[in-house]
Amino acid sequence: MPYEPYDAFLLVSFGGPEANEDVIPFLENVTRGRNIPRERLAEVGQHYYLYDGVSPINQQCRDLISAVRADFAGAGVDLPVYWGNRFWTPMLADTVAQMARDGVRRAVAMATSAYSNYSSHRAYLDDIAAAREAAGPDAPEIELIRPFFDHPGFIEPLVEHTRDALDRLPEDQRAGARLLFSAHSIPTAMADASGAPDHDHGPGGAYVAQLTEVARLVGERLGEDHPYDLVYQSRSGPPSQPWLEPDVGDRLAELADEGVTAVVVVPFGFVSDHMEVKYDLDNEARETARKLGLHFVRALSPGTHPRFVAMVRELVAERASGAEPFGLTSLPACHDCPEGCCRQR
């Protein structure tokens, strides 16, 4: 049966290149209007060239879409599934135009990001609005699912994958291993501004509060007494601009000095193992740990874990019914703009 009042589901993601010749045009899309020097784009491009220009994110979206379609069908959810990216094909504007041609009138969308800040929530809303405007008067209404950082369908895969990662350490290293929960760093000013404007989340705004809560929830559910730290990765701003810290590499060096011998890095700021996980953690952080003599294991992100896939359907049902958000935390509902921001008319 259809999930009233929607007649389609839309997955909105970041996008990534899938060939060497795609890399620079993709990076130009990402940085358009920011006056990033060409040499900086070429430097970042080297990360992709290590993988023949192929970012994992598009295939990961295809895999998630396939899993969501199967889950929808098994649960009797009659919603066609569309996919649009912000910065590479399939472009969001093209997808919304296709939805309009297909006669979609009202869709529910999910962004491949669990948290609240401008880049991971508000920017998706802005791009959806721009895509609808470009599609013209027949563009469907599109409502964006809330940030889902505290949903059991996000937390439970993180717990399982962290436990699996601990099991991959040498047995004599597991008990003393330090967990590093890693998320994308953002400018501190952006972090401070994240979340509902009528709620004081403290330093770092809703973004840091949500990350802190997820780390607590995962650590609590592991049922083992592993100390953990919240760390950040993938900084890209100028040195003069404050960004969230500590950097994962800096924290690895500090832990080695403190006598820690094993670490498990949990990329809990991401929903899939895309380029910033594969390069920044599997390449750079792993090499830093090797030089420091640390045992290093990186946990998987939620990806297409069955519980994460089922969460998508549950969030669609939640949105369709107008029910109160269901999560494991006492944090207030979190949006980066006034109440009702997720309803793009």
314 is in an annotated binding site: no
Contact (CB, 8 A) for 275 and 55: yes
Contact (CB, 8 A) for 53 and 21: yes
55 is in an annotated binding site: yes
The residue length of the chain stands at: 345
Cis bond upstream, residue 5 (ω within 30): yes
From 112, 97, 67, select the one nearest 304 (Cα to Cα). 67
Other residues' Cβ atoms within 10 Å of the Cβ of residue 280 = 21
User: Rounded to a whole number, what is the distance in angstroms from the first to the last CA of the chain?
Assistant: 24
Other residues' Cβ atoms within 10 Å of the Cβ of residue 43 = 11
Please tell me what DSSP assigns to residue 82: E
Q: What angle do CA 86, 88, 94 make, to 5 degrees?
A: 70
184 is in an annotated binding site: yes
From 104, 105, 103, 123, select the one nearest 113 (Cα to Cα). 123
284 is in an annotated binding site: no
Query: What's the one-letter identity of residue 328?
Result: L
C-alpha span between 142 and 5 (Å, rounded): 11
C-alpha span between 104 and 93 (Å, rounded): 14
Q: List, in sequence order, every beta strand (DSSP E) within 34-118.
A: 81-85, 106-111
Q: Which tokens belong to 4?
A: 């009233």
From 222, 85, 224, 238, select the one nearest 159 (Cα to Cα). 222
Packing angle of the helix pair 306-321, 57-75 (nearest 10 deg) = 60
C-alpha span between 120 and 147 (Å, rounded): 9
115 Cβ contact partners less than 8 Å away, ≥ 6 residues apart:
121, 147, 149, 183, 206, 207, 210, 211, 269
Q: Annotated binding site for Fe(2+): which residue ranges?
A: 184, 276
Binding-site residue ranges for Fe-coproporphyrin III? 55, 124
Q: Which parts are annotated binding residues?
A: 55, 124, 184, 276
